[in-house]
Structure 1
Amino acid sequence: MKMIKLSLAALMAVGVGISLNAADKPKVTLKANRTLVFNKVPPKVDSLKDMLTEGMFYGRIRINTFKWDWKEETSKNQDNWAAGFGGSLLYKSAEYKGFSGMAGLYTSQSPWHMDDADVGFIKAGKDTTSRYNVKTTGDWGMTVLAQAYLQYRINKTKFRVGRQIFESFLTKSNDTKMIPNTFEGFSVVSKDLTKTTLKAAFFTRQKLRDHTSFHDVITFQDASGDSWANNDDSAINKALNYNAFVNAGLDPNHDLVILEAANKSIKNLKLKANYTAVPDVVSSATLEAHYTIPVGSFKIVPGVRYMQQFDDLGGKLGAVANLKDDTTNYTNPNSLDSWLFAARVDIKSNQAWKFRIGYSQIADEADIIAPWRGFPTGGFTRAMAQYNWYANTKTYMIRGDYSFDKAGLAPGLTAMFRYAIQDFDDNKPGVQADTQVIHLDAIQKIKSFPGLEARVRIGIASGDPQTGAVTKADPSYKEYRFELNYLF
């Protein structure tokens, strides 16, 4: 493992040297959500030998630091910090008769960190390390082959098998920390139909960002009851745990099935439909539509999303409605049936700014299940580090984006502001207290050094603690993040 880390560091160093001498466009760039855009890809070749020798490497050096400051510390909530230093080295082979492949090696090292015993207190920065590895071996570093797949392309349809990133409504790479969320299995993405994208996937395993091995797609805890050894996503449903499945005579090993279609055939209208299921546990169907209305030099874009969640357990596990395993005052504690509605309106300038107002509502039934890093309210009302898809939750949000670069004020600088009011159910003790959230985000691309950019993120949550029949702790905190990326 030490040799792998040293080799990765050496290859990155070579890549930096090559990139510094290059005057052309970077091979790869970043979107605002930190996903990669491959500007240059390997060619099609005529032999198996050239398939390997004509492949391309893509490097990324990254630093992520986090500071979390609770307003009131408790035995469960302690001020915390984290830092990750590392990056990734991806290799894409050339394409031979439709066949190609890709491998991605990632590392996150934390030479400076909290005490081992305090790793469980880390909030946003937990994805810079593996809590399970820290607890069991004391190792704060992670190195993992998170992507390794074979691909076959025919026309505009791509088939992949192996470890891969798969972006859909509920499955995202969510690559905002050090290592992306990836899956093992089979997928197909087709753009052969005009203005239509079709996606399908069958995954048997998932690897969250803070894991070095792949695990079940939905089961919480392992046979020993360890909370960090299986799917320990922040949005996991804790009632769906290993021993609960076994005690009910059910298989604790699950698969994930995804079907998605997006269409732009009607002018100015974007349509999307998604079906995601863990067979015999839970499934969901989602419809989404966005329509662009040109108004002079502006565009007004209203959008809606409706998601219906279906219970496929039939009460076999008992109380499952709450993600945190406390179903007090839930309409039907033994059912996962629920729904979500969200709406937004974007006003976009042709120049430098965009404004959004959004709303979301969750049925007073079950919490929405989404432990695959795709956020059910994302793009409408979700703010940084927030989970606002608990039952009977209403959220209101305003957002503003401004490009100082396009305005000619500051080269390479963009900023974003979000303000959200989260109205949770006051009668459900398993749900947090109401909060108001302010989120500031700024990205600075260093144009004199292509491939290098910095990002600052600030989150401020002000909560309304409760006392009385239902007691809820003060959820207020301040969070600070700083990130550096260099791509070559």
Structure 2
Amino acid sequence: MSVAFGDEDSQKHSLKCNMLHLYDDLPDEVDNITDMFSQGIFYGRLRLNSFGFRWKEEIIKDDGTKKRVNHAVGAVGGSMIWKSAVLNGFSIGAGAYMAQSFGSLDSEEATLYKAGKGVLSRYDVLTEDVEYMAVLAQAYLQYTHQDTSFKAGRQIFESFLTRSNDTKMIPNTFEGITLHSKVIPDTSLKMAYFTKQKLRDHSDFHHLLATGELIDNQPEELFTQNDDSAMHFGLQLSKLQARGIDDNLIVIEAKNESVENLTLTMNYTAVPDLISSAMIQADYRFYMGGLSIIPGLRYMQQFDDGAGEIGGANLKSNTEGYNDPDSLDTELYAARVDIVEDAFKLRFGYTKVADKGDILAPWRGFPTAGFTRAMAQYNWYANTESYMAQLDYEFEMIPEFKIISRFVIQDFDDEKLGVQADSNVFTIDLLKGLGEGPLYLKTRYAHVMGDDNTVFGNVIKADPSYDELRLEINYLF
């Protein structure tokens, strides 16, 4: 089943269904520095992204303070990626991105944007009323020798818990050094050491596992550091600095396919003195009649190396209902099965997080991805069970037209105050590539049906129900 728009053989770059950028035509090797620059390749992209968001129930307090309001937001912009030719194994790459946003809310209400917040910097809007971003998100030096490459600088790095997640206007990127190698037979290995991150809605690089301070009458300070939706907001930068902790990120990931039809993936991710995790996943393919059956299992264990004592077991630091309020030790169990026939794929998935601490993963890689995660959902709080059915279909009668639909049941822990109420999520994605042309269209719709009567003590949890519509247009050149 095809996973990319367009004819990859007829253009220099293309997009996957999840907006992962593919470079189908790469610069050649050269023998002098002049050709290294003159024979580089530019990859251009124009982009429009728009979001409409409607809560089932808006929340406006008696004093007029808005907590939830319906809204729309979007942006136009683009990017220019440049890759030099290769000279004696060395090459250079850079990526400049720009986005001009427009929304229905006033500047002082920028904190109320939901998924569409990724097209603007809330810090810039709140402090300077600036609704555009211009960022050099990639800038690196690369050295390649045979099956191994090293890269230093600002870059995209795709792993279990670190992703570009380029579904807004500017990808999530990192600053540091990486290694990619295929020296070991049937094995791909990647390693990284990062000192900074730039989330999609930031115009500057920032800390990897430290959030800004929540100061009265200065909400913008919260958005100076890692303010990802999956961030632990008890890990404030001042607390880490007081303990002398540098929140640098280490990643080691390997994928092995030495056994026929079996793929093993292993990952280790750590921020020393705060948190670490290990993951192993096995996927096996076998055939039954005309069907391809692919069962998969994932196990992840998270180790609390100090973050729990600083911020608590809950990502919002609301630990009421947790067995050990100061520990982020936990496990994730996941299982799925894919049934594939030509252009048709059906997936059933299940995930379970142990009744311990929440999983900490604010780098745009999702612990439940590929098993039970639906658009804009975060289902890795403690003691959460999720079930998913997903249908993918590529139409033969309509070239380059795909549909991806999911239904997810999310059973959160009602006895934990810092965890949302239960919800059922239906999403549908419609994706259209225009033949061999460079124009790509993507529409996404989500309908979330939440429990509006979850009571914990004297508190009724907020109803998570909403509807969201997204439209994205990309033009590559």
Sort the Cα spacing of 1:392 and 1:352 in 2 relative to 1 into closer, same or farther, 3 A: same
The answer (yes or no) to whether the contact 2:275–2:307 under 8 Å persists in 1 is no
* Identity in percent: 49
Q: Is residue 2:317 matched to residue 1:325?
A: yes
SS at match of 2:224: coil
Q: Which runs of 5+ in 1 are unaligned?
A: 1-22
**What is the aligned partner in structure 2 of residue 479 from structure 1?**
468
Sort the Cα spacing of 1:24 and 1:360 in 2 relative to 1 into closer, same or farther, 3 A: closer
SS at match of 1:110: strand
Q: How far 1:112 sits from its partner (Å)?
A: 5.1
The answer (yes or no) to whether the contact 1:181–1:208 under 8 Å persists in 2 is yes
Q: Distance between the aligned counterparts of 1:243 and 1:77, measured in 2?
A: 29
Q: Aligned partner of 2:23: which letter? A: F
TM-score by length of 2: 0.94
Within 5 A, what are the aligned runs for 1:1-400? Answer: 25-74=10-59, 75-111=66-102, 113-222=104-213, 226-246=221-241, 249-251=242-244, 253-313=246-306, 316-317=309-310, 319-349=311-341, 351-400=342-391
> Which residue among 413, 418, 424 is the counterpart of 2:406?
418
Q: Aligned partner of 1:460: which letter? A: H
Q: Distance between the aligned counterparts of 1:82 and 1:219, measured in 2?
A: 27
SS at match of 1:228: helix
Sort the Cα spacing of 1:308 and 1:335 in 2 relative to 1 into closer, same or farther, 3 A: same
Deviations 1:320-350 (A, max 9, x none): 110111000101111110110110000000x
**What is the aligned partner in structure 2 of residue 15 from structure 1?**
none
Q: How far 1:24 sits from its partner (Å)?
A: 7.6
Sort the Cα spacing of 1:146 and 1:468 in 2 relative to 1 into closer, same or farther, 3 A: closer
Q: Distance between the aligned counterparts of 1:197 and 1:176, measured in 2?
A: 26
> How many positions carry a matched residue from both structures?
458
The answer (yes or no) to whether the contact 1:92–1:101 under 8 Å persists in 2 is yes
Q: How far 1:316 sits from its partner (Å)?
A: 4.2
Q: Which runs of 5+ in 2 are unaligned?
A: 1-7, 60-65
Which has the larger displacement, 281-290 or 76-85?
76-85
**What is the aligned partner in structure 2 of residue 459 from structure 1?**
446
Q: Distance between the aligned counterparts of 2:93 and 2:456, measured in 1?
A: 57
Q: Aligned partner of 1:97: which letter? A: N
The answer (yes or no) to whether the contact 1:64–1:85 under 8 Å persists in 2 is yes
Q: Distance between the aligned counterparts of 1:381 and 1:79, measured in 2?
A: 27
Show structure 1 runs of 4+ deviating over 2 A: 111-114, 222-225, 243-246
The alignment yields a C-alpha RMSD, in angstroms, of 1.5
Q: Aligned partner of 1:295: which letter? A: M
TM-score by length of 1: 0.92
Sort the Cα spacing of 1:429 and 1:222 in 2 relative to 1 into closer, same or farther, 3 A: closer
Q: Distance between the aligned counterparts of 1:468 and 1:151, measured in 2?
A: 53
The answer (yes or no) to whether the contact 1:223–1:242 under 8 Å persists in 2 is no
Sort the Cα spacing of 1:129 and 1:421 in 2 relative to 1 into closer, same or farther, 3 A: same
Q: How far 1:458 sits from its partner (Å)?
A: 0.2
